[in-house]
Structure formats: C-alpha cells, structure tokens
Amino acid sequence: MKQIFLITILLIFTLFISSCTDNINSEPIKIEDNTTNEITSYTIQDISNHKSKEDCWLAIESKVYDVTDYIPDHPNEKIIDGCGKDATQMFSKHSSSAKENLKNYFIGNLA
Ligand code: HEM
C-alpha cells in the first residue's frame, strides 16, 4: 500500500517537472511591437512644402521641426518668415528656454 502511494507521488512529481520543462522549450511568446526608434529624414524640398502659417515646418541646426501649433504663441509673426526654410540663422539669437521648447516640435533630421 505504502509502495503504491510512493509511486503515485513520484508519478505526479515527474509529470509536474516535465510540464515545466515543456514550457521552457516551447516557442517564446511573441509580443506584437510596431514601434520603431527610427528617425525620419526630410530634405529641404520636403520642408519647402510646409511654408504657411497653417502648416509650418522649419529646419534648425540639421533638425526638422513642425512648429504649426506654436505659431499662435510666438511673440510676433516673424516666425512665419522661417516656415519652409532652414531657419538656423533666424533662430540663433533665441533664449535657452525657447531652444528648450523647440524640442517639443521635433519631427526628424535634415537629410
Ligand atoms: C525661425 C523663425 C523665427 C523667427 C524669425 C523668430 C523671430 C523672433 C523675434 C524677432 C523675436 C523677438 C520678439 C520680441 O522681442 O518681441 C522672437 C522671440 C521669441 N521667439 Fe522666435 N522666431 C522664430 C522661431 C521661433 C521658434 C521656432 C520658437 C520656439 C519654438 C520661438 C520662440 C520664441 C520665444 C520664446 C521668444 C521670446 C524671446 C526668447 O525667449 O527668445 N521662435 N522670435
């Protein structure tokens, strides 16, 4: 009787261990991940297609920004002169807080 009990326990234990090992050897769970860390590049030609108050991209130090949403907050309308262009020179005298804020509008690198 005691032997049967021990054999049963051993059998259950063996089954338990084998099910654990099966899990280890099985295919890894695939998690769908469509996010990429790729940074898009835009040419000056691409930027020049966004030169209005309603759609304003500009390049500053080889980075491209879509500042459309910022235009209403800019202290004056001068910012529109930079739309669709490389505005590095126009932006160079801005304060460090303006430079910090600019990061929020980054969309890619200048090709
Ligand atoms: C590229 C075209 C731009 C031009 C020609 C331009 C021009 C100017 C000018 C003339 C001023 C002085 C206004 C005054 O003293 O009343 C100014 C101030 C300012 N601009 Fe621009 N701007 C441009 C782009 C930007 C961008 C892209 C940002 C931010 C995302 C920005 C943020 C500011 C801020 C915060 C000020 C207040 C002063 C400072 O903090 O430097 N500007 N801008």
pLDDT of 20? 46
Residue 89 scores a pLDDT above 50: yes
Tokens of 68: 């459309």
Q: Whose CA is nearest to atom 35 of ligand 1?
A: 98
**pLDDT tens figures, 14-73:** 554 455 445 455 555 554 656 668 999 999 999 999 999 999 999 999 999 999 999 999
Does residue 67's CB lie within 6 angstroms of at least one atom of ligand 1? yes
**Nearest to residue 67, comparing CAs of 58, 39, 75, 52?**
58
Q: Which is more confidently placed, 22 or 3?
A: 3
Residue 9 scores a pLDDT above 70: no
Segment 99-103 mean pLDDT: 98
Q: How far is the CA of 46 from the centre of ligand 1 (A)?
A: 23
Q: Phi, psi (5° rounding) for residue 74?
A: -65, 140
Q: Report pTM.
A: 0.73
User: What domains are defined for the chain?
Assistant: 41-110 (3.10.120.10)
* DSSP code, position 61: T
